[in-house]
């Protein structure tokens, strides 16, 4: 079985490597901050969440409690709000599944079991997570979390967290990962391996993975903020940047238009977690 600290550390390092990769078009990275959200906030959030990931990785806890716990831990040192909500939704079930896995193949099977085993209480805790802290607008694309009636509906209809994800899986990449068994997370890990083996350094490989995933499907957060047309346009631009290497221009353009493909960044984190857990060293 994977060891608890190793699982939690893989989750944390995945977040640090992702936010550090530069230039990562449109997102905060080690060379650019947003007005009210700096690179250092991501560092503080990542370190703060280590104990929450270790708890998930020790097994036997409810996914909803673990999500709430991670969201709160994110604010241990940094005060810019939760900048890792999407990543938490991927990493918590992955860490819980890793606690009973010895290989990546087992992780893939177990993470499906973990999300399918969630309860109505998990769904209620998930909604609580939003209300208990300042989840940043960047992340507030999730379901109808701002509707105070949601919790009542969930309890009346006895919806599990898996059911809630199912409802929004057609328009939300992370919900879709839950429903389909994390296919893009695991595929991203395979893609990363290929890219890295082609001779690019670590930073370049992460940027390349981000562009590949972005080029393959419109980013959820961009679609929610700017509509489907812009999201498709951004994916086409990512394809073009991969072909012609004009990544810095794309970065400048997206930043000036305030378009940040945050959900794709979350996917990269999931893929890097699988990569690190699977034995990648550098």
Which residues contact a second copy (rule: CB under 8 A)? Answer: 5-6, 9, 12-13, 16-17, 20, 30-31, 38-41, 43-44, 47-48, 50-51, 76-79, 201-203, 276, 280-282
Q: How many CA atoms lie within 13 A of 70 on its CB side?
A: 33
Nearer to a second copy, 58 or 121 (CB): 58
Q: How far is the CB of 207 from a second copy (least distance, A)?
A: 13
Q: What is the dihedral of CA 49, 183, 136, 69, to 10 degrees?
A: -30
**Could you tell me the sign of the dihedral formed by the alpha carbons of 179, 182, 188, 191, in that order?**
negative
Those residues whose C-beta lies under 8 Å from the C-beta of residue 91, and which sit 6 or more positions away, are: 11, 14, 15, 53, 56, 70, 269, 270, 273
Nearer to a second copy, 51 or 59 (CB): 51
Q: How far is the CB of 279 from a second copy (least distance, A)?
A: 10
Which tokens hold the place of 77? 């040192």
Nearer to a second copy, 12 or 122 (CB): 12
DSSP string for 22-66: SS-TTS-BTTB-BTTB-HHHHHHHHHHHHHHHHHHHTS---HHHH
Q: How far is the CB of 4 from a second copy (least distance, A)?
A: 9
Q: How far is the CB of 197 from a second copy (least distance, A)?
A: 16
- CA 62 from chain centre, in angstroms, equals 19
Q: How far is the CB of 237 from a second copy (least distance, A)?
A: 26
Nearer to a second copy, 30 or 100 (CB): 30
Nearer to a second copy, 226 or 280 (CB): 280
Those residues whose C-beta lies under 8 Å from the C-beta of residue 187, and which sit 6 or more positions away, are: 271
């Amino acid at each position: 079985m994977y060891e608890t600290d190793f699982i939690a550390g893989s989750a944390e390092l995945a977040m640090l490597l992702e936010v550090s990769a530069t230039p990562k078009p449109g997102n905060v990275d080690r060379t650019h901050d947003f007005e009210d959200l700096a690179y250092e906030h991501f560092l503080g959030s990542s370190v703060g969440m280590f104990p929450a990931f270790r708890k998930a990785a020790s097994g036997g806890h409810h996914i909803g409690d673990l999500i709430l716990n991670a969201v709160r831990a994110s604010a241990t040192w940094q005060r810019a709000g939760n900048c890792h909500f999407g990543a938490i939704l991927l990493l918590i079930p992955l860490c819980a599944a890793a606690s009973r896995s010895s290989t990546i193949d087992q992780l893939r099977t177990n993470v499906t079991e973990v999300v399918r085993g969630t309860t109505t209480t998990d769904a209620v805790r998930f909604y609580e997570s939003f209300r208990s802290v300042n989840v940043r607008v960047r992340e507030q694309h999730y379901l109808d979390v701002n509707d105070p009636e949601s919790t009542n509906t969930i309890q009346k209809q006895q919806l599990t967290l898996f059911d809630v994800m199912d409802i929004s899986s057609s328009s939300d990449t992370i919900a879709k990962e839950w429903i389909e068994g994390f296919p893009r997370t695991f595929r991203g890990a395979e893609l990363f391996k290929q890219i890295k083996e082609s001779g690019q350094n670590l930073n370049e490989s992460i940027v390349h993975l981000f562009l590949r995933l972005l080029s393959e499907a419109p980013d959820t957060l961009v679609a929610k903020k700017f509509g489907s047309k812009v999201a498709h346009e951004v994916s086409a631009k990512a394809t073009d940047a991969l072909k012609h290497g004009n990544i810095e221009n794309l970065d400048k353009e997206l930043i000036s238009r305030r378009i940040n493909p945050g959900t794709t960044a979350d996917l990269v984190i999931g893929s890097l977690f699988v990569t690190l857990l699977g034995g990648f060293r550098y």
